[in-house]
Amino acid sequence: MNRYHGRVVAITGAAQGLGLAMATRFAAEGATVALADVNAQALTDAARTITDAHDAKLRTDVVDVTDSAQVNAWITGVTDELGRLDVLINNAGIIRDNRVEDITDDDWHAVIDVSLTGGFHCARAAFGTMKRQGYGRIVSFSSMSWRGNFGQTNYVAAKAGIVGITRTLALEGARHGITANAIAPGLIETPMLASMNGPARDKLTNKVPMRHTGRPEDIAEAAAFLASEAAGYITGIVLDVDGGISIGSSIR
Ligand SMILES: NC(=O)c1ccc[n+]([C@@H]2O[C@H](COP(=O)([O-])OP(=O)(O)OC[C@H]3O[C@@H](n4cnc5c(N)ncnc54)[C@H](O)[C@@H]3O)[C@@H](O)[C@H]2O)c1
């Protein structure tokens, strides 16, 4: 498959987990991939993992998405070097879970800054180029948690915010050939999921109607579709990729 040949795809939080799976998938489909992450060593390792497996053209940048100057410099660097920017994947996100009364100011701001403001910084930086091209795809990471989740006030606020931003970008981008959509993953096997409190993770996994967690490749599949030319009439949606957990009640 070469459907991304000639396309430039920029991904945040690309050094591991879902970001790495998506970078690998886009590279396998012929895209030039710009990987950004705050973790320099993991980013280098990720790029090596991809180039070991694929004949891919990559660019790596150490970027903290909470810093708009770094984000602007990254997007400018990508478009200057690679000539265009077709797809932005707003994937970087963190969790700092706690019951509401135990969430510190730091925990609140850290999660909002990375998972919500970071996505805004990137979309704002990419929008002008996409408008000039008359083409763009923005895929941002929400979560099944966006509807509300115990112990995640900060994360839920960020992930619900991503839904609002996505729907607004969809309206502003529609007449310019830009689509904006969100993916709401369920429980996917990444370092983030591994970092969750074990009993809480097991309890949630038991609620998945399919009775198993998802693989990063399941998310990469959804992202590769939403970011494709073929998905051009789909905009402003939240795509649940979660084994059915968001359906709710599951009587067994
Ligand atoms: N794994 C899941 O089950 C799951 C479920 C729902 C939503 N999500 C969302 O999917 C996205 C990816 O999750 P994951 O499981 O791969 O997480 P992960 O923790 O495995 O990877 C996140 C990556 O983001 C990077 N990152 C963190 N802060 C950053 C910053 N300030 N600037 C740039 N990069 C930064 C990290 O270094 C890391 O490489 C996140 O937005 C997450 O909230 C994941």
Residue 234 phi, psi dihedral angles, 5° rounding: -105, 120
Instruction: Check residue 200 and give its pLDDT.
Output: 80
pLDDT tens over the chain, length 252 residues = 799 999 999 999 999 999 999 999 999 999 999 999 999 999 999 999 999 999 999 999 999 999 999 999 999 999 999 999 999 999 999 999 999 999 999 999 999 999 999 999 999 999 999 999 999 999 999 999 999 999 999 999 999 999 999 999 999 999 999 999 999 999 999 999 888 778 888 888 999 999 999 999 999 999 999 999 999 999 999 999 999 999 986 555
Instruction: Check residue 250 and give its pLDDT.
Output: 57
**Distance from the CA of 246 to the center of ligand 1, in angstroms?**
20
187 within ligand 1 shell (Cβ under 6 A): yes
Instruction: Check residue 241 and give its pLDDT.
Output: 98
Q: Determine contact, residues 197/96, Cβ cutoff 8 Å.
A: no
205 within ligand 1 shell (Cβ under 6 A): no
Query: Hey, where are the domains in the chain?
Result: 8-241
* 155 carries an active-site annotation: yes
178 within ligand 1 shell (Cβ under 6 A): no
CA distance 21 to 15: 9
Q: Whose CA is nearest to atom 1 of ligand 1?
A: 188
240 within ligand 1 shell (Cβ under 6 A): no
Residues in the chain: 252
Q: Determine contact, residues 160/37, Cβ cutoff 8 Å.
A: no
Instruction: Check residue 188 and give its pLDDT.
Output: 97
Instruction: Check residue 251 and give its pLDDT.
Output: 56
**Distance from the CA of 12 to the center of ligand 1, in angstroms?**
9
37 within ligand 1 shell (Cβ under 6 A): yes
Nearest to 138 by CA among 168, 111, 115: 168
**Distance from the CA of 252 to the center of ligand 1, in angstroms?**
32
Atom of ligand 1 nearest to the CA of 144: 6
Q: Count Cβ atoms within 10 A of the Cβ of residue 27 and give its class: 0-12 exposed, 13-18 middle, 19 or more buried.
A: buried
**Distance from the CA of 193 to the center of ligand 1, in angstroms?**
10
94 within ligand 1 shell (Cβ under 6 A): yes
| Nearby residues of 65 by Cβ (< 8 Å), 6 or more positions away | 12, 13, 36, 38, 71, 92, 114, 117, 118, 119, 121, 122
CATH for 8-241 (3.40.50.720, 3.90.1490.10, 1.10.533.10, 3.30.470.20) = 3.40.50.720
